[in-house]
Chain A
Amino acid sequence: MTVQGESAEQQWVDDHAGPVVRPYAVTRGRARPVTGTFDLISLVTATRADVSAEIGLGPEHVAIVGLCQRIQSVAEIAAHLDLPVGTIRVLLGDLVARNLVQVREPRTSAGLPDNSVFEAVINGLRAL
């Protein structure tokens, strides 16, 4: 990330700023996403192959879209980009608002899944 031509404030926010400052800088101070809740295991996939020409996206947005060419959970995105989950949620909200990613939320309120899911997982584990 280049700091030339950017505000003095942003010049302090580089890789050396440390993990406390950086997440908020990446989201430009926002703590909550503009849309969506994003469970840790919500699955995300990109709707486009390349978004680098989109105006207004940061390098982290572009990195998420790159990563989500293959389906990833929110937790995996956070781990691969080495950013806190809260930061990833904000960035994903931006991408959802622009229709650049598709998200599937897990079932969290409907109780336990039916037997076919359990049996599929048991058989899948046995086959590992």
Chain B
Amino acid sequence: MDYGPSERPAGATPLPTAIKILVAGGFGVGKTTMVGAVSETRPLRTEEVLTESGVGIDDLSGVESKSTTTVAMDFGRITISDDLVLYLFGTPGQDRFWFVWDELALGAIGAVVLADTRRLADCFPSIDYFEGRGTPFVVAVNCFEGAKQYRLDEVQAALNLDSGVPVLLCDARQRESSKEVLITLLEHAMKTRDARRVAD
């Protein structure tokens, strides 16, 4: 049986550029929800070796409605154009998955830190991480039903954020709201980069 040459000519299909944005925050804060709200398909999940070992260990107090544990990375894709693809990665929401963060953060153009005002301290580690790494980030307060509403300046003060870090309210279930968060992040990342250039 003969096989004709089936190789495509080299360079015939230039591959697009891929960029990524991280969605971080405490366990059960709505990271996967936000990824799903703006992605073109349902969120996909990749797993490293760990699977269900986290069940029974996670502290679910205050997030009673979440019954499963997110131990892997949920992500989504937004095809911007033929030569640009944006990936959104939800970071693993537990401290013992920090080893995955460095890989995720490498090359990320920015991060959304999702906060829940009922458990504000849960987003401290994410904020510390991105501040330490110099990754541009915004804080988006996910407005859960039944949670007390705070003013943005109260949240900013409680998180002890630099005044330049945007803080905004969002509904991670809503596409428009999640899009607005991403756009705010991208504008902030551009400004951050320009300010660094001037400083250099």
Contact A45 B15 (CB under 8 A): yes
**Is there a chain A Cβ closer than 8 Å to B87's Cβ?**
yes
Interface residues of A in 9-23 (CB under 8 A from B): 19-20, 23
* Residue B67 is within 8 A (CB to CB) of chain A in the complex: no
A87 to B49, CA, bound (A): 10
Q: Which B residues are in CB contact (< 8 Å) with A128? A: 38, 78, 175, 179
Most chain-A Cβ atoms within 10 A of its Cβ — which of B38, B103, B190? Answer: B190
> Are the CB atoms of A42 and B51 closer together than 8 Å?
no
Question: A96-128 toward B: CB 8 Å interface, digit per residue (1/0)?
Answer: 000000111011110111010110111011101
Query: Which residues from chain A contact B54 at a C-beta distance below 8 Å?
Result: none
* Contact call B84/A117, Cβ cutoff below 8 A: yes
What mask results when residues 28 to 50 of chain B are scored 1 for a CB within 8 Å of chain A, else 0? 00000000001000001111110
Contacts of A85 on B, CB cut-off 8 Å?
Answer: 46-48
Pick the contact of B20: A19, A23, A41, A122 (CB < 8 A). A41
B104 CB → nearest A CB, Å: 7
Decide: B47 and A84 in contact? CB cutoff 8 A.
yes
Contacts of B107 in A (CB 8 A): 39, 41, 106-109
Q: How many chain B residues touch the partner (CB < 8 A)?
A: 45
A37 to chain B, nearest CB (A): 10
- Tell me whether A79 and B46 are in contact (CB under 8 A): yes
A73 at the B interface (CB under 8 A): yes
Chain B, Cβ-Cβ closest to A124: B80
User: In the bound complex, how far is the Cα of B186 from the Cα of A41, in angstroms?
Assistant: 19
Closest to B20 in A: A41
Does residue B85 face the partner (Cβ distance < 8 Å to A)? yes
Q: List B residues 68-95 near A (Cβ within 8 Å).
A: 73, 75, 77-78, 80-81, 84-87, 89
- The verdict on A124 contacting B81 (CB below 8 Å), with A107-B107, A118-B186 known, is yes
One of A43, A48, A108, A111 near B8 (C-beta < 8 A): A48
A112 x B44 contact (CB < 8 A): no
* A108 CB contacts on chain B under 8 angstroms: 106-107
| B positions within 8 Å CB-CB of A | 3, 6-8, 13, 15-20, 38, 44-49, 51, 73, 75, 77-78, 80-81, 84-87, 89, 103-104, 106-107, 109, 136, 175, 179, 182-183, 186-187, 189-190, 193
**Residues of chain A at the chain B interface (Cβ within 8 Å):** 19-20, 23, 39-43, 45, 47-50, 53, 71, 73, 75-76, 78-80, 84-86, 102-104, 106-109, 111-113, 115, 117-118, 120-122, 124-126, 128
Q: List 14 A-B contacts (CB under 8 A).
A: A102-B13, A104-B16, A106-B18, A113-B109, A118-B186, A120-B81, A120-B84, A121-B80, A121-B84, A122-B187, A124-B81, A125-B78, A125-B182, A126-B183
